[in-house]
């Protein structure tokens, strides 16, 4: 198991079971949308964020992003929060009779490798590895210069980059920028684009 400093916030109990088998840390379930009215759960999340930081990992569908954004909204100090994203992968979990509304696998359906990479890539603090990279220096201006915002085809280009990175399609430009800064330096990201994206301005 990988011991990390931050607690991980997930949607449901099966997600919690999956993450608890991979990471040695507190894993907290929101109970889906129930967290919206659960004042006790919100207090716990805020307190844990204040003490050790949290990583939010929800499904890549629309509902997952609603929950993700809600949790982000209840944390006053955004430096206490990191975002881990899983890719859009079609399918259904074995325990379910039918796929989800959008036909995508949730956190519980991801492989150990995908889950591990998502958590470590978002800047999780691994015990004994506090020197790991915590992000780059890519700015909104860089995104514009690279054609990822403010251009006629920026939305389409972001979609291509998100797919190449294995990030969900619902990510906003700001969320995408934040996530990329956790993974790449500016020069590394530029090299990634040059190697993987042919249609740039």
Q: What is the CATH number of domain 2-121?
A: 3.40.50.140
Q: Tell me the DSSP string of 50-94.
A: HHH-EEE---SSHHHHHHHHHHHHH-S-GGGEEE------B---T
pLDDT at 16 over 70: yes
Q: Which residues pair with 104 in a beta bridge?
A: 90
Bridge-based pairing of strands 7-10 and 27-29 is parallel
Q: Which residues pair with 4 in a beta bridge?
A: 126
Average pLDDT, the chain: 89
Task: Classify residue 20 as exposed, middle or buried by CB count within 10 Å of its CB (0-12, 13-18, 19+).
Answer: middle
pLDDT in tens, 33-79: 999 999 999 999 998 999 899 999 999 999 999 999 999 999 999 89
Structural domain boundaries of the chain? 2-121, 140-196
pLDDT at 178 over 70: yes
pLDDT in tens, 75-116: 999 899 999 999 999 988 888 877 778 889 999 999 999 999
The Cα 110–Cα 91 span in angstroms is: 10
Average pLDDT over residues 176-195: 86
pLDDT in tens, 113-141: 999 999 999 989 998 765 444 456 889 99
* Residue 179 pLDDT grade (very low, low, confident, very high; cuts 50, 70, 90): confident
Where do runs of H (alpha helix) occur along the chain? 13-20, 39-52, 62-74, 112-121, 140-145, 154-165, 173-183, 186-196
49 close to 74: Cβ distance less than 8 angstroms: no
Q: Which residues pair with 82 in a beta bridge?
A: 55
Is the full-model pTM beyond 0.95? Answer: no
Exposed e or buried b for every residue in 163-178, given b needs 16+ CB within 10 A?
eebbbbebbebebbbb
**Length in residues, the chain:** 201
Bridge-based pairing of strands 54-56 and 81-83 is parallel
Determine the Cα angle at 133 with ends 51 and 162, to 5°. 100
């Amino acid at each position: 198991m990988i011991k990390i400093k931050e607690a991980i916030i997930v949607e449901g109990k099966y997600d919690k079971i999956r993450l608890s088998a991979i990471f040695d840390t507190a894993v907290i379930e929101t109970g889906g949308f129930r967290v919206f009215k659960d004042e006790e759960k919100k207090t716990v999340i805020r307190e844990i964020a204040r003490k050790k930081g949290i990583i939010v990992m929800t499904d890549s569908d629309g509902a997952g992003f609603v929950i993700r954004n809600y949790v982000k909204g209840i944390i006053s100090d955004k430096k206490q929060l990191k975002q881990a994203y899983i890719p859009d992968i079609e399918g259904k979990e074995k325990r379910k009779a039918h796929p989800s509304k959008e036909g995508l696998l949730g956190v519980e359906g991801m492989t150990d490798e995908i889950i591990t990479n998502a958590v470590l890539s978002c800047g999780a603090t691994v015990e004994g590895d506090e020197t790991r990279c915590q992000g780059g220096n890519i700015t909104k201006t860089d995104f514009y210069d690279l054609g990822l915002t403010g251009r006629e085809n920026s939305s389409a280009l972001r979609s291509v980059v998100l797919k190449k990175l294995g990030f969900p399609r619902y990510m906003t430009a700001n969320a995408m920028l934040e996530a990329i800064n956790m993974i790449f330096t500016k020069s590394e990201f530029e090299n990634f684009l040059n190697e993987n994206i042919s249609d740039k301005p």
